[in-house]
Amino acid sequence: MRVAMISVHTSPLEQPGTGDAGGMNVYVLELSRALVRRGAEVEIYTRATSSAQPKAVDAEPGIKVVHIPAGPFEGLDKNDLPGQLCAFAAGVLRAEAHRPEDWYDVVHAHYWLSGQVGWLATERWDVPLVHSMHTMARVKNAALAPGDRPEPMVRIVGEEQVVAEADALVASTEQEADDLTSWYGAERSRVHVVPPGVDTQLFSPLPEAAGGRAVLRERLGLPAGRDVVLFAGRIQLLKGPDVLVRALSAWPAGRRRPLLVVLGGASGTRTAVRELEALAWQEGVSDDVLVRPAVPQDELAGWFRAADLVAVPSHNESFGLVAAEALASGTPVVAAAVGGLRTVVADGESGALVPGHDPARWARTLADLLADEQRRARMARAARASAARFSWDHAAGEMLQVYEAARRRHADSRGVPGPVNIA
């Protein structure tokens, strides 16, 4: 099966945790890898962000990344990209034009911008459109962080159009499937729940060895004998790192504050990192906050293992890949009780779910867990087991079935004989 993946605003080759790169980058790349292991060929179309980028890169055997020029290479915010969709779509069609007819079997678009391009491409190529929302404007606007800007109407209308036109919609959780039907009126028969996976070979617990964590922490430059709470992700209001900084200032009296490590880069505004550091200074906890740039996946696994707790205080998450990767690494997760995090984190078993974003409540939850080593050890054991539910190979198998369902629906809509199953 030949699959055209479309990821307009962020490339799977970019470093997750910076700019617009995040869990979706990991999702697109890891799903593509798993599809290739099952015999598929994948080409990923993404916007070129540098004149030095080659037109196409063979990222791995079976996976090609195609860079499409659309607008200025640099300086475009994600909110500016709707004005470049026509140029991007033209570039995609031009790149495919030299291919034989019926080259692709399916188009899988990620995020609403890609869905708009995929809609046009599938009409031109007469193939089915499969779409993954990843986040939804209506859901996000209903749970905005204080001070955050709501998503614009152009996105809401764009999402509604893609939901109406896609042959299949992919949700990561049952909650996301419900959101698609309740917020966007999606036909439930076209919504397929396919949980993302986790690379459990890369994200695995620290081996049982004398001094293992101490050695790891020394290598990472972390202080010995101090509790460590880790936040990994883009530094933006949606992800809630400010909640953790404020929680430190609301820490229960008589208990030593942990070191809060923030791994990530600015997103949405280039001053986000400085603003977070300024907030720590205003709250009087600068000495308790360590901000470091985002790191590659293999290094991130080490940070997860070194932490006592991983905190995910997002205001909205369609799934929560960071939480799943942390659990696979054997580290309990304290997460906001929102979206897909309620599926990933088993409250009281592999971690704790915190209702709302009140800093004092977050402080109490974190402090109580850090003070109870036996409880954390039980959670750590349950964490690894719970993450085993999420497999990229299983996700790829389910996705191939979604592609076949989309092909059947597409053929039926045109009154032609259905395709032969090639999954």
Residues 372-395 have pLDDT tens digits of 999 999 999 999 998 888 999 999
Please state, for a pLDDT cut of 90, what percent of the chain lies above it: 76
pLDDT over threshold 70, residue 419: no
Could you tell me which CATH class the domain 212-387 is placed in? alpha beta
Tell me the three state secondary structure of residue 288: helix
Residue 20 is labelled as binding a ligand: yes
Residue 134 is labelled as binding a ligand: no
Residue 379 is labelled as binding a ligand: no
Q: What is the pLDDT of residue 186?
A: 98
Residue 421 is labelled as binding a ligand: no
CATH superfamily, region 2-197+391-413: Glycogen Phosphorylase B; (3.40.50.2000)
Q: What is the pLDDT of residue 401?
A: 98
* Bigger pLDDT: 124 vs 73: 124
- Mean pLDDT value of segment 205-223: 83
pLDDT over threshold 60, residue 423: no
What pTM was estimated for this model as a whole? 0.91
Q: What is the pLDDT of residue 93?
A: 96
Please state, for a pLDDT cut of 70, what percent of the chain lies above it: 94
Residue 15 is labelled as binding a ligand: yes
Structure confidence at residue 76 as a pLDDT band (50, 70, 90): confident
* Residue carrying structure tokens 């809401």: 156
Structure confidence at residue 71 as a pLDDT band (50, 70, 90): confident
Instruction: Tell me how far the alpha carbon of residue 228 is from its chain's centroid.
Output: 23
Residue 25 is labelled as binding a ligand: yes
The pLDDT tens digits for 78-98 are 788 899 999 999 999 999 988
Residue 9 is labelled as binding a ligand: yes
pLDDT over threshold 60, residue 248: yes
Residue 390 is labelled as binding a ligand: no
Instruction: Tell me how far the alpha carbon of residue 21 is from its chain's centroid.
Output: 8
Tell me the domain boundaries of the chain. Answer: 2-197+391-413, 212-387
Q: What is the pLDDT of residue 234?
A: 86
Q: What are the contacts of 172-178 at 24+ separation with CB within 8 A?
A: 172/132, 172/196, 172/318, 172/319, 172/340, 173/318, 173/319, 173/339, 173/340, 173/343, 174/343, 175/339, 175/340, 175/342, 175/343, 176/133, 176/318, 176/319, 176/339, 176/340
Residue 201 is labelled as binding a ligand: no
Q: What is the pLDDT of residue 213?
A: 84
Residue 75 is labelled as binding a ligand: no
The least confident of 150-154, 163-167, 270-274, 368-372 is 270-274
Residue 1 is labelled as binding a ligand: no
CATH topology match: 2-197+391-413 vs 212-387: yes
Residue 317 is labelled as binding a ligand: yes
The pLDDT tens digits for 249-284 are 999 999 999 999 999 887 665 678 999 999 999 999
Q: What are phi and psi of 201, to 5 degrees?
A: -80, -40
Residue 274 is labelled as binding a ligand: no
Residue 266 is labelled as binding a ligand: no
Structure confidence at residue 153 as a pLDDT band (50, 70, 90): very high
Residue 282 is labelled as binding a ligand: no
How are beta strands 56-60 and 63-68 bridged, if at all? antiparallel
Residue 22 is labelled as binding a ligand: yes
Q: What is the pLDDT of residue 406?
A: 98
Residue 184 is labelled as binding a ligand: no
Q: What are the contacts of 220-225 at 24+ separation with CB within 8 A?
A: 220/302, 220/303, 220/306, 222/259, 222/261, 222/306, 223/259
